[in-house]
DNA sequence: AATATATTTGCAACAATGATGCATAAATTT
DNA sequence: AAATTTATGCATCATTGTTGCAAATATATT
């Protein structure tokens, strides 16, 4: 996996630094969505808060991770599994938030359906979040 | 409208106070989604920040307004137009965020489609947000 | 209509989250 | 290995949201 992390960073023309390597590894190890706090609390990576912010911002810009919409005031990130390019994300899968374990799960195999909008509205991107109980918590 | 505001509050067994009256009026006047900041900056209502927070929380609990999910760190609220009861919202319409004017619009007439989830997942509530260009901004 | 009770408000203080400038440190290029 | 570019960490600040408590206001009671 060390190589995979390295490759992803180089493919995106990012210098390979300690923080980037460890934060990206953390995402690869935890397939679900992570919050800034999750990453900051991660034992393996004790970086400055600012570094974590900047690393996450960089990853979003490069299309390595994507943001997940929430109704509480928390930002969550997850690895992009489709072919996302810098400044242009192609993730169009549904996200699931479990009311029990509070985990956010990317349902990579569930596409967001297209919908008909009222006249005049031009859609550019859709997000869909489903809450409920996940497989583990039923 | 003064009566309408009064009625809504009384129907929800809330004491009729200055802040609640004015904040609720503000929602009735502005059909779109509002952020905490929008309300705080509103000239007619110069309340303590804490009061605004608590009023909005109360309104959400009572089913008078609902939260709209976003990917940035902003919480947005909009009036519930369906029959939402305390602790039990029934809004299942799509929200539209315009990239140009940055307004959030409730598409009351567009229902969130039902989707098939992987085995084990039990859905409870769905949210859908579409970004793009709205009718005014095309 | 006046008082008693219950609720809400505003203040103070605090915690958490996020942003920016700049010197140091580390990575990449030559 | 040195020069250059880039990233990090620290200090500082702004914004956002929370909690406890006394004062103020609204509702209920007589």
pLDDT at site B100: 84
Q: How many residues does chain B have?
A: 138
Q: Is B115 on the interface with A (CB under 8 A)?
A: yes
Reported as a pLDDT band with limits 50, 70 and 90, residue B61 is very high
pTM: 0.83
pLDDT above 70: residue B74: yes
Helix A49-62 / helix A18-29 crossing angle, nearest 10 deg: 70
Summarize pLDDT for B82-116 with one digit per residue, the tens: 666 666 666 788 999 888 888 888 898 899 999 99
Helix B18-29 / helix B49-62 crossing angle, nearest 10 deg: 70
Q: Which of A37, A117, A133, A135 to mutate to test the interface with B (most CBs of B within 10 A)?
A: A117
Q: Is A88 on the interface with B (CB under 8 A)?
A: no
């Amino acid at each position: 996996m060390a190589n995979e992390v390295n490759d992803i960073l180089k493919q995106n023309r990012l210098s390979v630094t300690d923080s980037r390597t460890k934060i990206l590894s953390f995402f690869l190890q935890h397939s679900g969505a992570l919050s800034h706090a999750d990453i900051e609390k991660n034992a393996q990576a004790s970086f400055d808060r600012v570094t974590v912010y900047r690393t996450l911002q960089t990853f979003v810009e490069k299309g390595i991770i994507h943001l997940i919409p929430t109704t509480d005031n928390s930002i969550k990130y997850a690895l992009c599994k489709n072919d996302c390019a810098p400044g242009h994300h192609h993730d169009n899968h549904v996200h699931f938030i479990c009311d029990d374990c509070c985990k956010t799960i990317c349902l990579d195999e569930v596409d967001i359906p297209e919908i008909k909008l009222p006249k005049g509205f031009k859609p550019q991107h859709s997000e869909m979040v489903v809450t409920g109980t996940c497989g583990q918590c039923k």
